[in-house]
Structure 1
Amino acid sequence: MLKKSLFVFFLLMFGATIFAQKNLYPRTEMRAVWVTTVANIDFPSRKGLSAEEQKKEFINILEKCKQLNFNAIIVQVRPAADALYESSFELWSEVLQGKQGIAPDYDPLAFMIEESRKRLLEFHAWVNPFRAIANINFSHIHPEHITRKRPEWFFRYGDRVYFNPGIPEVREYLLQVILEIVRKYDIDGLHFDDYFYPYPIAGEKINDDNTFDKFGKDFRNIEDWRRNNIDLFVQAVSDSIRAIKPKMKFGISPAGGWRNKNKDSRGSATNLGQPAYDNVFADTRKWLEQGWVDYLSPQTYWTIASPQASFKVLAEWWNENNFGRHIYSGHALFKIANSEEKDNWNDSQEILRQIRLSRSLKNVRGSMFFSLKHLLRNPLKICDSLQNSVFRFPALVPAMPWKDSIPPLPPDSLKANVFHNNVLLYWQSPQAAPDNEKPDYYVVFRFQNEMEINFEDASKIVAILRENYFLDKNLEQNRRYIYAIKSFDRLHNESKQYAKVTIATVKKLTMASPIKDGEIRED
């Protein structure tokens, strides 16, 4: 009886350890950072840099992201009806060479995609669909800019100029602008932020009454008509992406809250001043419910203790209102150590608590951080905290089975060669899976014994790579190691089986040991 009790005790302890590891270091988790280009906030650091200087800056950005174990980057490629890519619709952005319409000596978007893929970072192209002029006082506007050519498409609000979403021709034009990116560039995802209709400014009025009179006859009020305009656009983008590139992701980063509960029983128990539904006419919950987006990353830019809109309350609300799509928490790096903020952002552990809270919620599948500039300035040593704790080990981007659920085949013919306490693993690419896809990358796990094999534990990952070989130098003498390798496709589906090989390091080994053949095992 005592032996049985001890067995049950150790089994429970082992299970609890695995569970703790899974929560502490999850193997799948979106970790992305926004890179803002408007007004040269994040990239390029200033206008007029040469192509080589811009390339160097961006490579440094990617290297920093890899160092911190991020796995995705969200880059603003169309900040305000201009382009950081070769467009047949719009002019080159002023953030590159200082004036709109001046081409750089390279295609920044093509370069950024290529360099991101080299480093196994997902690249999401961030587009501001309705913002046409970021600031009328400072923006350089070319005579051929769309606001000059089609002024009837726009309205001014505050110091900005916006496309009028109520004009069908405008929505069609913007759709074609976006689809040019989708067709021409090998991006992993298309991304919108929270700018739809403008956020309210005291004393300002959106000048679209005439547009409502012309196109809104089926609606009782202008607010519902505005929401419908945005719905039509989001749905059109979603449907078009699925028709052209069905495996490309479409995500949006809206305002942190949909509606307050005192306005709608389905809303969150918050006192949001700028809910998306009421203030910018964005029915973000509906987009999830209809399956028009693959993910939302709400800008939940409050502390957990905030009395106005607790991060915890909002994260839990989105977790319950995800409708089978991914939710990625939005984190406010720009507020850390900011004395102007009402909430207490001087606690170095706040962001870490938010990440751990997000991990405890089934449908919150990761985090996005605003923005790169604030990540690099490392307020309250947040980078150190991330690297030493919650992001200590790498993580893989979560799969989206509604886009692609067919796993790749496992690596073939795995072999291991041991020499000087190094292990060289090499294998062959498998045949294509039933969807005709071969692996996009491989993940190498290392365990000390069979009981330790747990593919959900990110601390056991020793390599994520596209090559068909891996040299492990980080070994101890006179130890036994089990290597297991899985294949992953571009949408991060993993092979059901894995290639496995067991090796032993030998003290003072001077010649290579015989090649050891691996085996294929079921997960």
Structure 2
Amino acid sequence: MRTNRESSFRVAAAVLAAVMLPTVLGPAAPAGAGRGAAPAGTVVTAACTTDPATPKRQFRAMWISSVANIDWPSRTGLSVAAQQAEFRSWLDLAQQRKMNAVVVQVRPTADAFWPSTLEPWSQYLTGTQGGNPGYDPLAFMVAEAHARNIEFHAWFNPYRVATHADPARLVASHPARRNPGWVFPYNGQLYYNPGIPAVRAFVQDAMMDAVNRYDIDAVHWDDYFYPYPSGSVQIPDQATYAQYGSGFANIGDWRRDNVDKLVQEMSQKIRAAKPWVKFGISPFGIWRNASTDPLGSPTSGLQSYDAIYADTRRWVQQNWIDYVAPQVYWHIGFATADYARLVPWWSNVVAGTNVQLVIGQATYRVGASGQDAAWQNAAELTNHLTLNRAHPQVVGDIHFSAKDVRANRLGGMDRVANDHYRRPALVPIAAGRGGAAPPAPTITAATRVSNGVSLTFQRGGTTTPAAYAVYRVDGTTTDPCDLADGGNLLATVRAGGTTGTYTDTTAAAGGTYTYVVTALDRRHHESAASAGRVVNPGSGGTFTVTVDNATTGRFTASGNWGTSSFSAQRHGANYRFANPVAASDPAWFSANLPSAGSYRVEVWYPADPGYNSATPYLVATTTGNQTVTVDQRTGGGQWRSLGTFSLAAGDRNVVGVSRWTTGTGYVVADAVRITRV
């Protein structure tokens, strides 16, 4: 059950009536406690004292809800540019809060945020179900998240068809209208009937369409299976039970088996298609109460096993899922469902399995009107995460929802960030999902630049990693324990080919630092560390700046320039391309040069036989623009020098890529590097 602002979708009144107990916070774990054995792929082999406030691995995410335009898009009918700008702002927020994943609702009501082959476009994009938004939102969102090295968990609702009960309001092509026997109304909404085998197969196919076509990191479900009960009103599936329920003693066991089959079959399909894609479910926080079942939790609220036929404990015990994120949306000391008692119960459930435990946090309650007094305490949420430290099975948290993370009421998220998210963290490794640590990379350059220290690193071996982790240690020596937690972790960077780059804008001009880089595979196994590169206090003599087409505020191009990540030779997450034309329409890279002088200008582009044989690069020198043509059919995936030029000081456009060429094929703008010589 998410929030009272989604109350028409989530009703569990039995949990809401309770006696409030005083806040009780369990003891915090001492430094280094609860770590256990180092996971496969870690760079640390020695026993090290670690700081629980800066864990090396911790899952940090927020739900971005699309149903009823809760989070994104903020309303229907926004332009493509406005929708995309809004989504980028959510990723900016995730980066600001040092989160490493977003959980985005892409199939809220049997519809799609991608050009599905099976279901209509979602009404929450344009305001009209089936209305084409003019771009592919899912492709855009995945690319934008990965450019920031943020995991994208695609959130699907398997059975909810509509938040109203009138099939005639669905678009004529909707599968629920073409198969009216598949749906039933309940409590003012429409649902696919989970008891019909053809329905179960169809919803799996609808979700697998996204899994197969997009580079998502996980499939995510919440707590919607059978609808939450509404008083004494019965779910209208007795005829379906009569048809398909032979062999079951009662309708409840049959319904649970239907949901079990959905989970197990979807798990098998995901793992067969893309073994690296995780499967996570965020159930209602109570499985069963101990008063009903001795295996249950010390609670007295609504039981999801009995009320919505979700046997979440079984899914964990059978390892059908990779993570479980129970919605423990109650405060510490809440009599009906005490956070401080539910987290240990869920920790015991996952113990001995391959399933990770992530806690769904009720960030929406903090400082909100109408909530219990405990939620008017700015420390309530941070106390939850402190309590989690005593339970090593808890690998992180998901906050509901994005707008409440942004609202930061009472400064509650500031407290969480200061106490728990001060440093970045690697995503925990999913057990039993394969993968292996890549070879250690090499730092090929570490140079002081005008805004910090610029690093360039190269992969080890022949396999390109998924990402790199960049660490900085004060001084000129390092110890293996310097990488034991996240205290020295600066960032993770998505790999964009054989090399990677990162600029440490937090480096003090007078500091002496040693930088170390590791490589990560798609499942987050970490390589051994590179050799350290020492950077001494700045002398002001050396200057290098690298500008990628995705560098914020440093690249400009008209709408005629497309974006692609097709070529593995690209620099960073993507590159820009355009058709040649006999007109002035250059794409420009800008830089802030500290002084006038001679600078070497290098360019990076992916090569392809279909690209332009005479791409004009413009260099804005002190005597005017100079043009250097480059054959972009060959020589890509590396830095190529255009020459040394006299450049003026200041912040301005320095290198352009023109479309005005006699050659044929796309001209490409990817990245430039400018070095004072």
Deviations, residues 116-157 of structure 1 (Å, cap 9, x unaligned) = 111111001100001111223799521222222111111111
Classify the secondary structure of the residue corresponding to 2:52: helix
Classify the secondary structure of the residue corresponding to 2:279: strand
State how far apart, in whole Å, the 2-side matches of 1:88 and 1:212 are: 30
The question of 1:104 aligning with 2:127 is answered no
The partner residue of 1:40 within 54, 64, 69 is: 69
CA 461–205 in structure 1, closer or farther in 2 if over 3 Å, else same: same
Quote the residue 1:321 is aligned against. 349
The question of 1:263 aligning with 2:292 is answered yes
CA 509–236 in structure 1, closer or farther in 2 if over 3 Å, else same: same
Classify the secondary structure of the residue corresponding to 2:334: coil
Q: Compute the displacement of 1:465 (Å).
A: 1.5
Counterparts in 2 of 1:351-370, with a 5 A limit? 351-370=381-400
CA 501–163 in structure 1, closer or farther in 2 if over 3 Å, else same: same
Q: Compute the displacement of 1:464 (Å).
A: 1.9
CA 65–126 in structure 1, closer or farther in 2 if over 3 Å, else same: same
The question of 1:439 aligning with 2:439 is answered no
Classify the secondary structure of the residue corresponding to 2:68: helix
State how far apart, in whole Å, the 2-side matches of 1:426 and 1:126 are: 35
The partner residue of 2:414 within 376, 384, 398 is: 384
Are the counterparts in 2 of residues 38 and 79 from structure 1 also a CA contact under 8 Å?
yes
State how far apart, in whole Å, the 2-side matches of 1:277 and 1:162 are: 19
Are the counterparts in 2 of residues 42 and 373 from structure 1 also a CA contact under 8 Å?
yes
State how far apart, in whole Å, the 2-side matches of 1:285 and 1:497 are: 39
State how far apart, in whole Å, the 2-side matches of 1:455 and 1:152 are: 58
The partner residue of 2:188 within 149, 159, 163 is: 159
Deviations, residues 50-100 of structure 1 (Å, cap 9, x unaligned) = 111111111111111111111101111111111111111111111111111
Moved more, 208-217 or 18-27: 18-27
- Specify the code of the residue in structure 1 equivalent to 2:145: S
- Specify the code of the residue in structure 2 equivalent to 1:364: V
Quote the residue 1:290 is aligned against. 318
Root-mean-square deviation (Å): 2.4
Provide the identity percentage: 38
The question of 1:510 aligning with 2:541 is answered yes
Between structure 1 and structure 2, the one with the greater Rg is 2
Quote the residue 2:651 is aligned against. none
CA 182–420 in structure 1, closer or farther in 2 if over 3 Å, else same: closer
Moved more, 444-453 or 152-161: 444-453
The partner residue of 1:175 within 192, 200, 204 is: 204
Are the counterparts in 2 of residues 306 and 343 from structure 1 also a CA contact under 8 Å?
no
- Specify the code of the residue in structure 2 equivalent to 1:304: I
CA 406–269 in structure 1, closer or farther in 2 if over 3 Å, else same: same
The question of 1:188 aligning with 2:217 is answered yes
State how far apart, in whole Å, the 1-side matches of 2:363 and 2:511 are: 43
Q: Compute the displacement of 1:416 (Å).
A: 3.3
Classify the secondary structure of the residue corresponding to 2:432: coil
Deviations, residues 322-373 of structure 1 (Å, cap 9, x unaligned) = 1231110010012112332346211111110111212321111000011112
| Higher helix fraction (1 or 2) | 1
State how far apart, in whole Å, the 1-side matches of 2:200 and 2:543 are: 65
Classify the secondary structure of the residue corresponding to 2:532: strand
Are the counterparts in 1 of residues 322 and 354 from structure 2 also a CA contact under 8 Å?
no
Q: Compute the displacement of 1:24 (Å).
A: 0.9
Are the counterparts in 1 of residues 167 and 177 from structure 2 also a CA contact under 8 Å?
no
Classify the secondary structure of the residue corresponding to 2:420: coil
Q: Compute the displacement of 1:415 (Å).
A: 4.0
Q: Compute the displacement of 1:512 (Å).
A: 7.6
Classify the secondary structure of the residue corresponding to 1:300: coil
State how far apart, in whole Å, the 1-side matches of 2:211 and 2:450 are: 49
Quote the residue 1:237 is aligned against. 266
State how far apart, in whole Å, the 2-side matches of 1:281 and 1:137 are: 25
Quote the residue 1:253 is aligned against. 282
Quote the residue 2:570 is aligned against. none
Moved more, 354-363 or 464-473: 464-473
CA 444–263 in structure 1, closer or farther in 2 if over 3 Å, else same: same
The runs of 5 or more residues in structure 2 that have no matched partner are 1-29, 34-46, 545-677
State how far apart, in whole Å, the 2-side matches of 1:409 and 1:361 are: 32
The runs of 5 or more residues in structure 1 that have no matched partner are 1-12, 514-523
- Specify the code of the residue in structure 1 equivalent to 2:255: R
Quote the residue 2:92 is aligned against. 63
Are the counterparts in 2 of residues 484 and 500 from structure 1 also a CA contact under 8 Å?
yes
Classify the secondary structure of the residue corresponding to 1:162: strand
Q: TM-score, normalised by structure 2?
A: 0.70
Deviations, residues 34-60 of structure 1 (Å, cap 9, x unaligned) = 111111111111111111111111111
Deviations, residues 235-290 of structure 1 (Å, cap 9, x unaligned) = 11000111111110111100001111111111111112x22211110110111111
The question of 1:210 aligning with 2:242 is answered no
Moved more, 369-378 or 174-183: 369-378
Aligned positions, number: 494
Q: Compute the displacement of 1:402 (Å).
A: 1.0
Quote the residue 1:114 is aligned against. 143
The question of 1:334 aligning with 2:364 is answered yes
Moved more, 411-420 or 481-490: 411-420
Are the counterparts in 2 of residues 359 and 365 from structure 1 also a CA contact under 8 Å?
no
CA 503–341 in structure 1, closer or farther in 2 if over 3 Å, else same: closer
- Specify the code of the residue in structure 2 equivalent to 1:276: S
